Each structure stands twice: as structure tokens, then as C-alpha cells.
Amino acid sequence: MSGATLTRIIDTAKIHCPGVLEGMVRRDFGNVMKEFFRRSNIWLLELVVNIVPTTNDYYLQTGQNANVIRLMSLTRPSFPPDTPPVYIPPVNGDPPQYLLLSPTGPGNNAQSQYARVPRDGGLLSAGCKTPILRIHWNPGSNDWWIATVSLNISEDTDDNGFPILYPNWILEKYFEYFQDGILAKLMLQANKPYSNEKGAMYHYRKFHEGIGLARTEVRNYFTYSGQAWLYPQTFAARHPRVQ
């Protein structure tokens, strides 16, 4: 976390909660981040899985100091990905998230179109750094799949008491909602100069609003009007009905 962001978080908390200790802000910020990532699935990571016919269980190695909390999807690219995997270069020191996939793949060798099975599976020991992916149907031959997983911060912290690893772009995009979550938790503390039950309820509503926004945006791949829906024209009434 940049020094400017750290100062911004603490200063905002002190303005709304006079007398609050910085240690309390750090603690609640970590708890707010955990809840935001857990409920929104906004932090995604694509992992390459080499499927073999001899097992249905695969360890997922993220290579990051983060916990895998949920399996979002299993896909099968037309061409096998690079090994080791190549990721789209992140910016501002963010951890990598999305694979850089070539439209033709290395060596132009497309995957077999006949070794197709339903890509169903789940996570064993979800919530740890190295969960196990168990697939329900094995293709019976070597294959390459991509598992998209949802991540959350780990318990490890930096010298300032803040989480070590997370995508900075998420904090910047939803900063005001993270701040609402921190203020809600601080104001719920009993017998403090800044205790304020009504204020806590207001900021919790804003925080939950941010979680819902993030969950919807990631579901729609951040497209404008992702939830727009047109009534099937077959059933559209083109003339007013006469009563």
C-alpha cells in the first residue's frame, strides 16, 4: 500500500471518529477487506491446470500470498497455454490475475476437439493458499484447462499492519466503500467518543452497496448496462389492447 493511501485512510477515520487509535483503523481495515473480497468475488486469478487421465484431484498453486476461497469457472482453451503460464503484465505493483492467451497457442497445436467432457468440479479445503481442485469427469487423456478462482487476503501483514498483497486497483476503484466499512466498524465500538449506532448503520448500508456493485460488475465483466434486458419482441404488444 502506498504511503498516500495509508495516510488517506487514517486521516479520514480520524475526521469521522475523533480520538481513534491508528491500530484500531489498521485492524478494522483488514477485516473490511476480507469481507469485501469474500462477498464480492472481485479478486480473480486464472490458473492453468494440466489434466491427466490418472487422477481427478489437482493442487492449485497460486504463487501468491493469498487464500483461495471459491472456484468461479472451469474453461478449456482451444490452444494449450504457454508453460510456464504467461500473465498480462500488471500495473502499479499489482499481483498478476489474467493469463495472456495467444489465439493460436504455442506451436499452433490446437487441443483435440474429441476429448471433451463436462467441466464440473469443486474445491477441497477452500480458504487456504493451496486448495485441491477435484473434477467430476476426467477426459481420459492429457488436457489443458483454466481454473478461475476468487482470492482473499491472508493473515500476513506489512510493517504498518496492513495486508501484504491485494490488487491496488480494487482499493482505488471502491475506496469510498472500503472507508464506509471501516467507519461502520469503528462507530459500533461501545463507550468510545466516536460511538454512533446510527452513523454505523448508515456506513454499513453504503459498504454493502459497494459489495453489491462490485459483485455485479465482475459478473458482467465491467460492461456498461450489463443487466439490460429486452422484452422478447415476439410477445411485444404493438397496439393498445381494447378493453
pLDDT for 176-208, tens place per residue? 999 999 999 999 999 999 999 999 999 999 999
Q: Given this model, what pLDDT does residue 109 score?
A: 64
Residue 174 CA neighbour count, 13 Å, CB half: 27
State the pLDDT confidence band at 23, using cuts at 50, 70 and 90: confident
54: Cβ contacts below 8 Å, ≥ 6 apart = none
Instruction: Find the mean pLDDT for residues 118-123.
Output: 89
Q: What percent of the chain has pLDDT over 90?
A: 58
Sheet holding 57-59, edge to edge: 57-59, 132-135, 121-124
Q: What is the mean pLDDT of the chain?
A: 85
Parse the chain into domains and list their residue ranges: 3-40+167-219, 44-153
Cβ contact 42:152 at 8 Å: no
Helix (H) or strand (E) holding 146: strand 143-153
Q: Are 135 and 120 a contacting pair, CB within 8 Å?
A: yes
Q: Which three cell numbers stand for residue 225?
A: 448496462
76-114: per-residue pLDDT in tens? 888 888 888 899 988 878 899 999 877 655 555 666 655
pLDDT computed for residue 106 by the predictor:
52
Average pLDDT over residues 136-152: 91
Q: What is the pTM of this model?
A: 0.84
